[in-house]
Structure 1
C-alpha cells in the first residue's frame, strides 16, 4: 500500500472512530456548574461587545453617509467589507479555535477589534473607514465561535442548546445597545467620542478575559487539546456530516432578515420608508428585539432535553420568516402598513435570537466536542454569506432606483435567499435521525 493510501486509510479510520465514540465522549461530558457559567459569562461579554461593533452601522448609517459624503451603494460597502472579512475568516477562525483555545483567540479578537473601531472613529474619509471596518470584521470573526466552543468544552451535551441560545440572546442584547443608545450617543457626544469610547471598553473587557477565562475545566484538558487534523480534513469532515449540513441551511435563513436590518437597513427602512423619527425608530427596533427574548431560554432548554423538537421549531421559524418577508415585498401598492411590517420584524428578531440554539446544536451532531470549531465556522459562514447578499443587494437596488427608491424591491434578494435556504433545510431534514 502506498504512503498516500495508508494516510487516507488512517484518516478514514480516525473520522470513523470519532463518530463512533461521540456517545462515549458525551457520557464523560464536563459537569458544567458555577465556574462554567462564570467563564461563559465573561466570554459572552466579548460577544456582546462584538455585536455592538458589528451592528453600529445601522444606527450610524445616515450620519456616516453625511460624514463620508457617499451614496447608499458606497455606504453599504462599509458593512459589506466587514462582513466579507468575517465570512472569509470563519473556517480559519474555527481552526484557530480548535488549536489555540478560546482564551487566546478571544484576546486576539478583542485587540484587533479595538484597533479597528479606533481607526473608524477618527477616519477622515471613506477609505480609512473601510480599513477600520475590515479590522472590526477580522476581530469579530474570532469571537462567536469561541464562545460557542466554551459551551462545548465546559458544559454537558444536553445543555449545549441552552448555552448556544443564551449566547445568541447576549448578541441580541448587544444588537439592541448598538441601535437606540448608540443613536443617542451619536447625537449627544458626537461620532469620535462614541466610537473611541467603544474602543476603550474593548481593552477593559480584554482584562476580564485574562483574569477569568480558561480553555477547559480541570480534568478535561486531553479532549480540549487532542491531536489536530489538517484544515482540509477538518472542513471535509464537517461538510460530509449531516448535522453541520442542517445547521448551515438553518442558519442561512433563520438569522438572516433581522441580521440585514440590524447591520444596516433597519433604520433607513423605518426612517425613510415610513417617515419615522430617529428616536421612534430606535425604540421600535429595540422593542422588536426585546419582545422574543423572554421565551428563548425556555425553548432552548426544551430542545436541549427533547431534541426531537428541533426539527419542527427550525422548519416553523424558517418558513414563517421567509413567507412573511415574501408578503412584504409583494404587498400591492407599496410597503404594507407599519403594523404588518412591525410584526414581520418581530418574527425576524425571534428567529435571530433563537437561531444559535437550532443551527449550532445541529452542527454538533456527529462531531467530536474537541473539533466543533470548524463545523461552527461553516454554519456561521453560511448565515453571514446570506446576510451579505441581503445587505449589498439592498444597497445596490436602492442606488439604482434613485430618488424614488422602493424598500420592497431592495429586500427582494434577502427574501429570495431565505426562501431558497428554507427549501434546502426542508430537504435535509427529511428522514433526519433523532438525537438521543
Structure 2
C-alpha cells in the first residue's frame, strides 16, 4: 500500500509508533486468549457444577468456537470497513461482559449464552491485530510479527493453565472468573489511548461502502492463496486447540491418571513450547517463503506421529512421552499462522481483512468438529459423564482427529498446486524471486479489479 492510495502518511512504517500500536493491541489479544482457554482447566469442575454429560460439556466449546468461526467472514468484512480499533473495542467489551456473567450463572442455558457472547468478542480480536501488523509494518517484518503476535497471545493461555487453575482450587468458580473479567477495563485504557488503525490517512478506508463488503469477501475467497491459507490453518491448529480448550485436561487427569497440578503444568509446557515454535517457524517462513506449505505439512506430520505413539502405547503413557506429545502438538498453533502469510502475499491490502477472516475460520471449524466428535464418542463408550472417563474411553475418542488431518492434508496439496500455478501465471519473475527466497514478493491484481 502506498501513501497515495491510502491518504497522507502520518507515521513511519516500522517506527516507534508502530510498535506502540502493536503492543497495545497485543494486550487485548492476550486477554482474549485467556478468556478463550479459561474453560480448559475447568472442564471437570464445569461438568460437576452444571451436572452435564460429556456431549453437553463439549457444547460449551462447540458454541464458543462455532460463533467464533461463523463471525470470521462478517468480522473480516467489517474490519475492512471500520478498522481495527473499533472492532477491538467492541470485542473487548463483549469478552468482559460475557466472562463476568459466566462467573455467576449456574444453569446450562445461561452458561451457553455467555459462551456465545464470548465467542463473538473473541472473533474480533486476532484478525484486527493481524491487520494492524500488515498496515504498520513492512513486508520484511510482517511474517515474524504475525508469529510473534501468536507467541505473545499464548501468555493468556499460560495464565489460564496456571494461575486460573490455582484460583479455581483456592477461591472457587465465581471469584476466579469475576476477577479475570475486571482486567478488561484496564486493557481498554491502552486500546483507547494508543491504538490507531493505520499510519496513513483514512480516505481509502472511508471510501469503502457497505455494498462493497460482500464483493471483498467473494474476491478474497476466489484467490487460491487464501484457500491454501485456510486449509493450512484448518489442518495445523485444531489438535492443540482441542487439547487446550477442553479435552486435554480431562484426558490427562481422568485418562492418564495425573493430578490436576501436573496436568496444569503440562498445559503450561505446551504453551511455552508454542512460544518457542513461533520464533522458529516465523524465521523459517521468512527464509523459505516458497516452502511455507511444506513447513505446515511437516508440522502436521509431527503432531500425527506423536498422537499415534501415545494412542498405541500399551497402558498409561509415561511422563516423558506426554511431554513429547504436548511439545510437538504446540507447533500446530504457530504452524497455522503461516496461513495468514499465504493470504498476505496473495491479496491486495483492501481485501486483507476479508482474506484474514477467511483463513482464521479454518482451524476453528476443525476444532469445532473435533470437540463435538470426541464428546459423542465419549458418551457412546463411557456414558455417565466424568466418573466414567478412562484411558480406554479416550483412545477411540481422540482418534477422530485422524479424519480431520486426512481431509486437511488433501486440501493443502490441492490448493498448493493451484496457488503456485496462479503465481507463475501472474508474475513469472516474482515467482522466481519467491523460489529464490524473497519474502517481499506479492501476487495480486489491483484491488479494484
TM-score by length of 2: 0.86
The answer to whether structure 1 residue 401 and structure 2 residue 388 are counterparts is no
Q: How far is 1:169 from its partner?
A: 0.6
Q: How far is 1:190 from its partner?
A: 1.4
Q: How far is 1:309 from its partner?
A: 3.9
Partner of 1:130: 112
Partner of 2:340: 360
Q: Which of 18, 21, 33 lines up with 2:15 in the alignment?
A: 33
Q: Which of 377, 386, 390 lines up with 2:357 in the alignment?
A: 377
Q: How far is 1:327 from its partner?
A: 4.2
Structure 2: 5+ residue stretches without partners: 383-387, 424-430, 435-440, 442-449
The answer to whether structure 1 residue 350 and structure 2 residue 334 are counterparts is no
Q: Is the 1:159–1:301 contact (alpha carbons within 8 Å) kept by the matching residues of 2?
A: no
CA distance in 2, matches of 1:110, 1:179: 21
Q: Is the 2:306–2:324 contact (alpha carbons within 8 Å) kept by the matching residues of 1?
A: no
Q: How far is 1:253 from its partner?
A: 1.1
Cα deviation, 1:298-343, whole Å, max 9, x if unaligned, reads: 44134225422423312211222234334444x1645654433431
CA distance in 2, matches of 1:193, 1:332: 40
Q: How far is 1:109 from its partner?
A: 0.5
3-state secondary structure, aligned to 1:429:
helix
Partner of 2:132: 150
3-state secondary structure, aligned to 2:330:
helix
Q: Is the 1:82–1:136 contact (alpha carbons within 8 Å) kept by the matching residues of 2?
A: yes
Misfit runs of 4+, over 6 Å:
none
Q: How many residues align?
A: 410
Mean CA deviation greater in 415-424 or 246-255: 415-424
Q: Which of 421, 425, 428 lines up with 2:408 in the alignment?
A: 421
CA distance in 1, matches of 2:335, 2:154: 10
Q: Which of 71, 96, 102 lines up with 2:53 in the alignment?
A: 71
CA distance in 2, matches of 1:76, 1:284: 21
Mean CA deviation greater in 338-347 or 250-259: 338-347
Q: Is the 1:322–1:422 contact (alpha carbons within 8 Å) kept by the matching residues of 2?
A: no
Q: Is the 1:319–1:422 contact (alpha carbons within 8 Å) kept by the matching residues of 2?
A: no
CA distance in 2, matches of 1:350, 1:295: 6
The answer to whether structure 1 residue 221 and structure 2 residue 208 are counterparts is no
| Structure 1 residues 3-402: aligned runs within 5 Å | 31-217=13-199, 219-228=200-209, 230-329=212-311, 331=312, 333=314, 336-356=317-337, 358-402=338-382
Q: How far is 1:141 from its partner?
A: 0.7
TM-score by length of 1: 0.88
3-state secondary structure, aligned to 2:13:
coil
Q: Classify 1:30/1:316 alpha carbon distance in 2 versus 1 (closer, same or farther; 3 Å).
A: farther
Q: How far is 1:124 from its partner?
A: 1.9
Q: Is the 1:397–1:410 contact (alpha carbons within 8 Å) kept by the matching residues of 2?
A: yes
3-state secondary structure, aligned to 1:76:
helix
